[in-house]
Amino acid sequence: MTTRRIRGAAAAMAMAGAVAACSAPGGGGEDGGASAASVVIGVPSEPDTLSPLLGYGKDGNSKIFDGLLARDAAMELKPALAKALPEVTDGGRTYTYTLREGVRFSDGEPLTADDVVFTYRTVLDDRTNNTARSELDVIDEVRAEGDGKVVFTLDHPYAAFAARTVLPIVPEHVAGGQDPNTGSFNTKPVGTGPYVLTGWSKGEKLTFKANPDYWGGAPKVKKLTMAIIADDDVRATRLRSGDLDGATLPPNLAATFKGDDDKKTYRATSYDFRAVTLPTGDPVTGDTAIRRALDLAVDREAMVDKILDGAGRPAYGPLPVDDPWFADGIERPRDLAEAGRILDAAGWKPGKDGVRAKANRPARFTLYYPSGDKVRQDHALAYASDAKEAGIDVRVESATWEVIEPRMKHDAVLAGFGSTGDPDFGLYTLLHSSLAGDGFNNMARYDNPAVDRALDTGRRAQDAKAREAAYDTLQRELVKNPGYTVLTHIDHLYVLADRWEGLTTQTEPHEHGFASGPWWNAEDWQPRA
């Protein structure tokens, strides 16, 4: 989970009547959704901020900004604000980028190397509240060489560094005079991207207009609206009624559109996984025997089949089973008998009510999931049912993130994680003890010295085999002591009116809907002839 919040179902229901404010399809007129030049998308969440200085768009695909590099449909790195991929020297410690000429911010001011330096230095400043700062810790220095070159010097070689430079670049002449944590830039950004923000009604919608002077060419989709609708059912209803052009939907609701000839379903594979956080500080969830037993008690195959309608894969760790870094042989079938033996050996004995106990403490804990998220709700209920068969009482509750966040230290959460690009990107923030309790980083407050060592080796090693060995060790350590019960990797599903050409999907991270989905490249869409 990142710092994005998902609004509660009540808020989503309250906004269901605000159709006109979202430029509904069929409304007619220049901005109406019936025109291929205007698109209204329903998404489950919104960012806390639109400032890259605080983490917005750090994985790419921001509509307002560009990074030095970007990713194409196949997730390969390509030049964006840089005119070419970086020149790498000094044994992998120096990266030099030459900027594309003629790029301007949406206020007309030119992009310079100083803007790049300002962006990275501000993100790295301890006074900036960017929870993803650790992802750039490898940078020792960033400097400009004239207006057109930027040079990064790293503390040590870092094989994945170029992929970090999809970070969006902000204008120093606008953001430089503001407090990055509280300034107006957070809600009124200026960037070099294909779209310009025209309005943001918190909890309701964000509207964007095409940037006619975009260096990549003016988009054909002239108006883009992101309607914030937390409740899955409400999103599906509004899409069906014509209030939306497209929406992010869970598998069971996406399936209801299969017979609609006017709509098309897009399916994106992802690194996005659902997992139950098991807080280390709690005497039940922090017990290794409980953790191992839960890992063996869950029926991952059934979750994929029944909850995801086959649109996903069983997850035996943070990395998908088809990832090249996945450790061979760690797949684990459901084994209630072994779960029972582990609990018996650790002193968790069955009680008369079927709930195990140890030293008069019942094997019981609360599991929260965010209101309105049907997929997480179903995962949470299935998890509790499976755990009950092992003698562990999991009490499921729904709440908003405002309620859940203060409880994460002691209560379990049905959470979502996953990053693309390199194993370091998702694993370090999920598991390293130095980030325990740092916002939504390491939510379980997991603390395992062997895992920390593997993460540090994976981040610092130059040799590919050394990195492979480190991540192999890490995954096997997680089998021995899982700080999370990882359940499924989810395919993301999107349903859109079939009025455009050029729509594709990428392999996606956990974050989806707002920046990912078929609209990741909306600037390249063409109206269907």
Report yes or no on 3 lying in a domain.
no
Helix ranges restricted to H, 80-198: 113-124, 161-164, 172-175
Report yes or no on 232 lying in a domain.
yes
| DSSP H helix total and E strand total for the chain | 14, 24
Report yes or no on 186 lying in a domain.
no
pLDDT at position 24: 44
Confidence of residue 31 (pLDDT cuts 50, 70, 90): very low
pLDDT at position 147: 87
pLDDT at 45 over 80: yes
Residues 451 and 501 in one domain: no
CATH number of the structural domain spanning residue 463 = 3.10.105.10
pLDDT at 28 over 50: no
Residues 392 and 379 in one domain: yes
> Structural domain tally of the chain?
3
pLDDT at position 1: 39
CATH number of the structural domain spanning residue 222 = 3.40.190.10
34/6: higher pLDDT: 34
Confidence of residue 234 (pLDDT cuts 50, 70, 90): very high
Residues 260 and 354 in one domain: no
Q: Global pTM?
A: 0.82
Confidence of residue 159 (pLDDT cuts 50, 70, 90): confident
Confidence of residue 19 (pLDDT cuts 50, 70, 90): very low
CATH number of the structural domain spanning residue 85 = 3.90.76.10
pLDDT at position 315: 98
Residues 371 and 403 in one domain: yes
Strand partners, 228: 43
- Least confident residue range of 18-22, 284-288, 386-390: 18-22
Tokens of 25: 């399809």
pLDDT at position 8: 35
Residues 244 and 164 in one domain: no
pLDDT at position 460: 86
Tokens of 502: 């050029």
Alpha-carbon span 399 to 395, nearest angstrom: 13
Report yes or no on 180 lying in a domain.
no
pLDDT at 498 over 80: yes
Q: Give the three-state DSSP class for 280.
A: coil
Residues 472 and 521 in one domain: no
The answer for 200, left when phi > 0, alpha when psi is -120 to 50, beta otherwise, is beta
pLDDT at 29 over 60: no
Residues 478 and 499 in one domain: no
| Segment 115-133, tens digit of pLDDT | 999 999 999 999 999 988 8
Residues 40 and 163 in one domain: no
Alpha-carbon span 502 to 509, nearest angstrom: 21
pLDDT at position 14: 37
Report yes or no on 285 lying in a domain.
yes
513/273: higher pLDDT: 273
Q: How far is CA 204 from CA 45, 62, 367, in A?
A: 10, 19, 28
Residues 435 and 295 in one domain: yes
| Segment 476-493, tens digit of pLDDT | 999 999 999 999 999 999
Residues 142 and 235 in one domain: no
Q: How far is CA 380 from CA 9, 303, 331, 365, 383, in A?
A: 17, 10, 21, 12, 5
Report yes or no on 197 lying in a domain.
no
Alpha-carbon span 143 to 28, nearest angstrom: 51
> Which residues span the domain enclosing 256?
9-46+202-267+494-527
pLDDT mean over 344-366: 97
> Beta-strand (E) ranges in 347-411?
349-350, 356-358, 361-362, 364-370, 393-399
Report yes or no on 182 lying in a domain.
no
Angle at the Cα of 206 from the Cα atoms of 203 and 209, rounded to 5 degrees: 175
Alpha-carbon span 302 to 298, nearest angstrom: 9
Alpha-carbon span 452 to 432, nearest angstrom: 5
Residues 165 and 81 in one domain: yes
Report yes or no on 76 lying in a domain.
yes
Alpha-carbon span 228 to 214, nearest angstrom: 26
pLDDT at 11 over 70: no
Domain termination residue (choose one: 158, 175, 192): 175
Please choose, from the candidates 25, 61, 62, the residue with its C-alpha nearest in 3D space to the C-alpha of residue 499: 25
Residues 234 and 364 in one domain: no
